[in-house]
Structures are given as C-alpha cells and as structure tokens.
Structure 1
Amino acid sequence: MISKREQLVTDYSSEVLTYMLEIERLLPPTGDYIRSNPEIEIESWMRDKLVNWVISIGEEIGISIETAQLAITLINHFLATVHTKKAVLQLVGIVCLMIALKYHESIGYTLDHAINHCGNIYKREDIQATEIFILQKLDWCLKIPTAAELSKQLLYVTGVSYDFTKILERSNSFAMRCYGDYSLNQFSPLVISVVSVVCALEQYNQKSFRDQWLKLLNSKISLDAPVLDQCKRALVYKLYRETPEQSKDKLKCLRDSLMKILI
C-alpha cells in the first residue's frame, strides 16, 4: 500500500494546508465511542479486527494509503454515530471501503467483489441499502483529510528542496499503526501525521530538521504539545509491545519527548 503519486504544487502548500486544517477542525471528533457507551455491542478489539480486515483487502486490490485511511475514518465516524450490532460490522467495513474507493480511486471494485470478500453472506441489495444509509448518516461528507495527505503538506510547507519520499513512506507506516488501533485512532489526523513524521525523522537520524520543522509548524498552526506527546508515547508503547525483542533497539531513537522540543 503506497501513497498516491499526485503532483504536489509546492507554491500553494501553505494555502492547501490551511484549507485541509479548516476542514479537519469542522469535523466532529470520534472520541471514545465504545467505552463511553455501555450499551454498545462491539468492543475495541472487534473494531481493530474489522479495520485490519479492510486494510488487508486494500492491500490485495492495490489501493493507496489515503484511501485506506479514509475508509477507516468513515468506519469510525459511522460507529460513533450509529449503535451498530456486531453481526453487521463486516458489512459496514466493506461498504466504507467501497465509498472510499469511489471517492479516491479508479479501481473497478464491483458489488460482486464485495460479496465475495464478505464470504457471500450479504446480498447485493443489502450492500446497496447500507451504502445509502451510511452516506446519509455521514451527511454525505467525504472531504476528510487523512494523516497521509496532511503529512505531505506539513513537510512541503517548509519550502525545503528535498525528496521526502522515504520519510513519507516511513511516516505512513507509523500512521497506519495508529489507524489500526482504536485508542490511537481517537487522536486527530493532524496529531497522527505530526507524530508519524517525527518518528520517521528520528529513525532516519534527522533530529536537527525535526526540531526546526516542529518549531516552524508551531509558529504557523500552534501545535498542542501535550496531546502530541501523549500520542507519541502511546504509539511508541504499542511499537515496543508488538516488536520482537531482537529488533527493539531500532525503537530507542523514538524516546524523545515532544514537550521538551516545543517548550
């Protein structure tokens, strides 16, 4: 799964970033929609399993990381809005993926493909009706910035003449770890993108650029240092928990506190 290769117009990066952040600020936060509602049937591990299944389908059919992140965002917003029964979680997941595909991609993904991926347990009319229902509950709002899209603009807004491809690829891998985790995905796309880029820069030993970049961003958009630090600590903890013992040395460079850098 790779980032979309659209041509970036760096002359307007600041305006594009401002526009994307304005959209993001208008979006309601998903919040802790599972633990805050004792009546909800689903649990966080069910949501994470659903998201990983959607990601695996995306990898199989070759979608971009932006499309995958949009699909997961649609899942989150829907589950936060509608008390969904666990029996139809798979249906919600496949329909959100289909909606994201129509918005972002030109991949020919048909109802038959969706039915096959769901093990033939849903009918065509079930999927079609669910698509309309989800779009209505989302107020037909698909203009949702993803962490992958924001990361590009956050780097290119610096005006630095540098090929950020590898940084973005590493950043996107960190961001997808956040999107795949219920707790981490409660942070905003902006927070996830900043933290993911920071971790990528640290792994590539670009700490001097990291510090300058963070200070530049803070002067432009006033970063919330405590929230960024909380997100990074949670991500690093997840990485340490899931990384084999022999590979954990590669994570030591991620221990810097963002609070210390931004104060």
Structure 2
Amino acid sequence: MLCFHSKVSSLHDSEKLISNEKKKFSDYDDDLYKFYHLEESQIQGNSNGFKVDSQIRKNVVDWLIQTHYEQKLMPETFYLCVNILDRVLSKINFEVKTMEKLKLIGLSSLLLASKYEQRKAVGVYHVEYMADYIYMPEEICQMEKLILQELGWILTVPTPYVFLVRNVKACVSSDEDKIMENMVFFFSELSLTNHSIVCDYKPSLIAACSVYCARFVVERYPFWSNDLKMCTGYSEENLLSCAHVMMKSCIQICGEGIMEVFKKFSSLYQCRVSCVAQEFLKV
C-alpha cells in the first residue's frame, strides 16, 4: 500500500532539513507530487454534507491537537485523523449533535490514523485512557468499523502534511530557521480547526497558504516568490481567498489565546510562534 508521506523526510519531529539546495528534492519528487495533486481532488471532505455544528467540530479538533501532542504521536497521524474525521462527517446519514459523540468519532479516527502512520499503533485501551474512560472499548471498535465502512477502507490520501514537507524545505533558508518552520505548522494546524478551510480548499492549497501567511507574519520578503510558485503550483493570486480565511482564523485564535493550538505553539519548543503572531497582529 502506498503511504502518501512515503519516503519524504519528516520535518516536524526534529529531523534536520537538508541544507544543500541541489539535494532538497529527489529526482522523482516532481512526479510524486503530480500524483498527489491528482489524488487530492478525488478524496476530500465535503462541507455541503456536513452533519455537525462547526463550533463543536472546532472544539473537538482543538482537543485532538492537545491529545495528539501529549501522546507524542507523529504529525502525519494527526493530519490523517482530521481527514478521516471530515470525510466521515460528510458521508454519515445521521447528525452528530453532541461533543461526546464527535469525540468518539475523532478518537476512532485517531486510532485508525495511528495504525496507518505510527510504527507502534495506539491501542484501543490507550484510546480509552485518552478519553478519561467515558467510552467502552466495544464502542470505540464499533465506531472504527463504521468509519471504515463509510470510507470504503480508503485511508491512503494526500493530507496537507504531505505538501507541507516539500513547502517548508523550499521556504526555510537554513537548518536554524525554526521560527519560520514552526510558524508554517502553526498556520496549518489552526486551519484544520476551521471546517470551511479544510472542506473548501485542497490540501495542497492549505499547505501553500500556510507558508504564505507565515512569511507575512514573520515579515519575510517577498511573501511569495517564483521558486515557491514552482514548488507549490500556486501563484500569489491563487492563494488570496484561502489566505484571507486563514488570517481571520489566526486573528480570532490569537485574540482569544485559549485554544489548545495556540497554547501548543506558545511553548519554547515551538519557538513561541503563536505569541509572535499575536504580537504582530496586536490582538
């Protein structure tokens, strides 16, 4: 089975970026990403069929960010988890009315994503612990089966993370440029809490806009370049609509300062980039 982050190196788990420009991308990367761009259009959540309140979804995804971070899971696992969650919410024939029900779907999605991405998958009893034992193992397994049935067992999908790996390599000037790297991931993760971004824009566009918004906040000029256009496949004009929504979400999250995604990226390990964004935006 082809794994969509396949042999591309992980950036957000402390692996070093390759400094030699000529070695940033392998010979087959262009063909690989052409394939990703084709596939992303076919497997995506649909906001038209969404059967959950957007605020409940926002809270649950934010909680999943905290849970994923505390469990020290791979970033690929979280991005796939949200993809699974949104695709299920656009396919199920019943309305999810409570946060408890959506948390169950979210945790079951995290369980599936970990089985796909982690070398050592999260177990059912571990998931039960994450949820403070409010769900029985049987409930979690039953929801896991329902998710797989609804998705037709399709878990091989290109998430924004696949494109972020390539984009960060292109926009980070050195191995020490951790502020830019973390700012890109801050924008990417906060965007996942907004269902209109996730469902209305392609993963590759979300990844490109994360770089664009990060460069704007960190004040890296130019905000967009021909190299980034070549790398992402998007011109600056293509980014503006999604970037506008992403910046609005950032302003709201930084203004409140209480969401888990803000707290996560306010740590010294993440270079306090959410606080940098908060100060830049003066909210």
Residue correspondence of structure 1 range 56-205 to structure 2 within 5 A: 56-82=66-92, 83-87=94-98, 88-154=101-167, 156=169, 163=175, 166=178, 167-186=180-199, 187-205=201-219
User: How far apart are the structure 2 equivalents of 1:139 and 1:197?
Assistant: 33
After TM superposition, give the deviation of residue 144 of structure 1 in Å: 1.4
User: How far apart are the structure 2 equivalents of 1:150 and 1:195?
Assistant: 11
User: How far apart are the structure 1 equivalents of 2:280 and 2:227?
Assistant: 23
- Is the partner of 2:194 in helix, strand or coil? coil
Which residue type is aligned with residue 252 of structure 2?
R
Q: Which stretches in structure 1 are left out of the alignment for 5+ residues?
A: 35-39, 253-263
Which residue type is aligned with residue 29 of structure 2?
S
Residue equivalent to 2:271: none
Q: Which stretches in structure 2 are left out of the alignment for 5+ residues?
A: 1-10, 18-23, 257-274
Residue equivalent to 2:12: 3
TM-score with structure 2 setting the length? 0.73
What's the C-alpha RMSD, in Å, of the aligned pairs?
A: 3.0
Aligned identity (percent) is: 23
TM-score with structure 1 setting the length? 0.78
Q: Could you give the per-residue CA deviations for residues 175-230 of structure 1, whole angstroms, max 9, x where no partner exists?
A: 00100122222222111101001122333433237222344257xx465935x211
From 198, 210, 218, the counterpart of 2:224 = 210
- Stretch moving more, 242-251 or 53-62: 242-251
Which residue type is aligned with residue 175 of structure 1?
S
After TM superposition, give the deviation of residue 58 of structure 1 in Å: 0.4
- Indicate conservation of the 8 Å contact 1:179/1:185, yes or no: yes
After TM superposition, give the deviation of residue 49 of structure 1 in Å: 1.2
Which residue type is aligned with residue 65 of structure 1?
P
- Indicate conservation of the 8 Å contact 1:78/1:138, yes or no: yes
Residue correspondence of structure 1 range 15-94 to structure 2 within 5 A: 15-34=31-50, 40=51, 42-82=52-92, 83-87=94-98, 88-94=101-107
- Is the partner of 2:153 in helix, strand or coil? coil
- Stretch moving more, 3-12 or 98-107: 3-12
- Indicate conservation of the 8 Å contact 2:216/2:223, yes or no: no
- Indicate conservation of the 8 Å contact 1:201/1:207, yes or no: yes
How many matched pairs? 241
Which residue type is aligned with residue 125 of structure 2?
D
After TM superposition, give the deviation of residue 162 of structure 1 in Å: 5.2
- Is the partner of 2:222 in helix, strand or coil? helix
